[in-house]
Amino acid sequence: ALNLAPAHFLAAQIEPDRRDALPAAAPLDQAERLYSVPATQDLVEMKILRSRIAAVRSDADAAVELAREAIAVDSSKADRGLALSALADGLALRGDIADADAAYREAVDMLEVAAWWRPAANTCRAWARVLRDNGREPEALDVLDRAADLGMRATPQARLER
């Protein structure tokens, strides 16, 4: 069980992206059953994954609640940024656009400080979709520019040039 729990948890983390988190549910369920007491970081990451799964299932309230639980745990800037991103997704799904906008902004800032370029770029793309879908095209274009910049930082060539 000690070796299987992290393996299932890793499988759950590899599966999801912003549009298809559902395949992560089964390995995440298995990991949670096998962990007796997960480490703080694992607990935060499990709550973030659960939040994303809830969002894919269109359960905005569960997505928001699970993300807030993850944010409440004292964790790294990167984990906090990922939790804020999940919160923003849930808030947007619920129709709380102003709060989602603020959560996306804080999430990207946290992920950028942690040098998690790809998740920061992905969060920007989700943020831009929400802005565009709510008639805020100019802001969406600015956020997409930021996503492009962050995406460039994630490339191997960009890291070599720094």
Type of residue found at 136? R
Per-residue pLDDT at 39: 63
Q: Each residue's pLDDT tens digit in the chain (162 positions)?
A: 445 555 544 545 554 554 555 555 555 555 555 556 566 667 788 888 889 888 888 999 999 999 999 999 988 899 999 999 999 999 999 999 999 999 999 999 999 999 999 999 999 999 999 999 999 999 999 999 999 999 998 876 544 544
DSSP characters over 37-49? S--HHHHHHHHHH
Per-residue pLDDT at 121: 94
Task: Give 111-114 contacts, CB < 8 A, sequence gap 24+.
Answer: 111/77, 111/78, 111/81, 111/82, 111/85, 112/150, 113/77, 113/81, 114/76, 114/77, 114/78, 114/81
Per-residue pLDDT at 96: 97
Neighbours of 39 (CB within 10 A): 10
- With 0-12 CB in 10 A as exposed, 13-18 as middle and 19+ as buried, what is 136? middle
Per-residue pLDDT at 43: 79
Angstrom distance (rounded) from CA 49 to CA 41: 12
Using CA atoms, how far residue 155 sits from 42, 62, 121, 123, 158, in Å, is 27, 34, 12, 17, 5
- With 0-12 CB in 10 A as exposed, 13-18 as middle and 19+ as buried, what is 9? buried
Per-residue pLDDT at 8: 43
Type of residue found at 98? A
Per-residue pLDDT at 5: 52
